[in-house]
Amino acid sequence: METTPCFDEMWGSDERLRQPYQQFYSWFGGEDPKRLRSKQREAEELFRLTGITFNVYGRDEAEERLIPFDIIPRIISGQEWSRVTKGIEQRVRAINAFLHDIYHRQEIVKAGRIPLEMISQNSAFEPSMIGFTPPGGIYTHIVGVDLVRTGPDEFFVLEDNARTPSGVSYMLENRETMLQMFPELFSSNRVRSVQNYPTDLRRSLSACAPSATTQQPVVAVLTPGIYNSAYYEHAFLADQMSAELVEGHDLRVVDGRVAMRTIHGYKPIDVLYRRVDDDYLDPLNFNPDSQLGVPGIMDVYRSGGITIANAPGTGIADDKAIYSYMPEIVEFYTGERPILKNVPTWRCSEPDQLAYVLDNLEELVVKEVHGSGGYGMLIGPTATKKDIAAFRRKLASRPANYIAQPTLSLSTVPIFARQGLTPRHVDLRPFVLVGPDEIKVTAGGLTRVALQKGSLVVNSSQGGGTKDTWIVED
């Protein structure tokens, strides 16, 4: 298990109540536990009635589950958040510059900062993007940056989600639920708002409309359909930003534009916020068996007839092997040292680093390079001998498919349990909107919490829950 004590965000390292939690804790001490337990049940019922669920894919078929929600907010001071925001903005600027470079002159490769094979042999690299600049010069319109905290001033980036980051609907619904149940808390605490996210999202996407746009940009959300694990979010965001929710069969190429079917015929779309993976986006250019995309959309895209958010080929920026080069990427494109740290990472594709990983499997976290959702990973300190032996075989057969990291001592925040407040490990996914003239970081984001005592796995698919995240004015 963990070798060092973890930092508790409410009580700090010296068991003294930290400033961001003082007002909340004073309120909590005056509340009847029975009322709070009733509010916890009420929150669960609200989520059930609203339909806030996700699908877990098992051996046979998808199982629909309710995401557990904890009523105790995670609270971060405005001063703490200011530095985090600067670090996220710096990182996202570097990611966009990196994507433009690798699809154009590849200066970072020529400079010897990243090996050519990390690009050329990467399955997320998209050759059809070579030489093409998306409208507005933006590749990653929406980014989810996963952060973990290990101390009062120590935030690490665990992962960059640059393809189709999910979870923003849960952030918004968490806040709406808390506002509904505890309005008095928001009148006594100066909590920064997140409710403008859908408006900001539409404005940011519209600012990246292609040159073919002649009027107010038409924005649509492309979903794989109702059986996708994040369908609730697709429908929620389309509704909240007054955009059309479409599936591949609703779209076709008409007169050099991508158009959607309406009761008045086909209407051109300017910006498509797609929640469909690259491989399924266009059967004429990618997977010919795809029923989810739009035949010919890449040709329209490259001719300037539509904006696709996020741009195809952005996945190489959240590849976990590329992640290990992010400090060099940030410095190369910004000329600055990274404000936010990377977690130390061993690339198993390199023989000396693989040897170290194999010798220390019991102490490390091993992840698939293209894995997500907590699947396909090993947490050495909590793994069985059987699990470790299985991963040893995987690493021996496909080392380039994995990276390894130390087991961080993640911070804890309180959850409301039967015995009162009790600490659990958390991470945080702030959402970032990137436009031609502005980078906007949400005031908080989605806190995911490992509900099992001692667990470090926060993913909802692995039993984790969520809680509202407060950024409070100092």
- What are the backbone angles phi and psi of residue 165, rounded to the nearest 5°? -60, 135
Nearest CA among 157, 169, 140 for reference residue 231: 169
Spatial distance between the Cα atoms of 48 and 211, rounded to a whole number of angstroms:
43
| pLDDT at position 65 | 67
Instruction: Provide the 8-state DSSP code for 191.
Output: B
Residues in Cβ contact with 263 at an 8 Å cutoff, skipping those fewer than 6 apart: none
Q: Counting beta carbons within 10 angstroms of the beta carbon of residue 26, is it exposed (0 to 12), middle (13 to 18) or buried (19 or more)?
A: exposed
Instruction: Quote the pLDDT of residue 377.
Output: 85
Neighbours of 286 (CB within 10 A): 19
**What pTM was estimated for this model as a whole?**
0.92
In what order do the strands lie in the sheet containing 251-254?
251-254, 257-262, 265-268
The β-bridge partners of 251 are: 260
Residues of the chain with pLDDT under 50: 1-3, 56-61
Letter string b/e over residues 414-431, b meaning 16 or more CB atoms within 10 A of that residue's CB: bbbeeeeeebbbbbbbbb
**Residues in the chain, overall count:** 474
- Token output for 418: 């039967």
DSSP state at residue 7: P
* Contact predicate 428/147, CB 8 Å: yes
**What confidence score (pLDDT) does residue 460 get?**
67
Q: What is the pLDDT of residue 370?
A: 75
Upstream peptide bond of 310 is cis (omega within 30 degrees of 0): yes
Contact 90, 339 (CB under 8 A): yes
Which residue has 């073919």 as its token pair? Answer: 212
Spans of all domains in the chain: 344-407
Distances 104 to 100, 109, 314 between C-alpha atoms, Å? 6, 11, 14
Residues 44 and 465: their CA atoms lie apart, in Å, by: 12
User: Nearest Cα to 431, choosing from 87, 144, 84?
Assistant: 144
Structure confidence at residue 456 (pLDDT): 77
Q: Does domain 344-407 correspond to CATH entry 1.10.3720.10?
A: no
Q: How many CB atoms lie within 10 A of CB 333?
A: 19
Alpha-helical (H) ranges within 147-296 are 168-181, 183-188, 197-206, 231-240
Return d(Cα 294, Cα 280) in angstroms, integer: 9
CA distances from 280 to 276, 285, 300 (A): 6, 9, 16
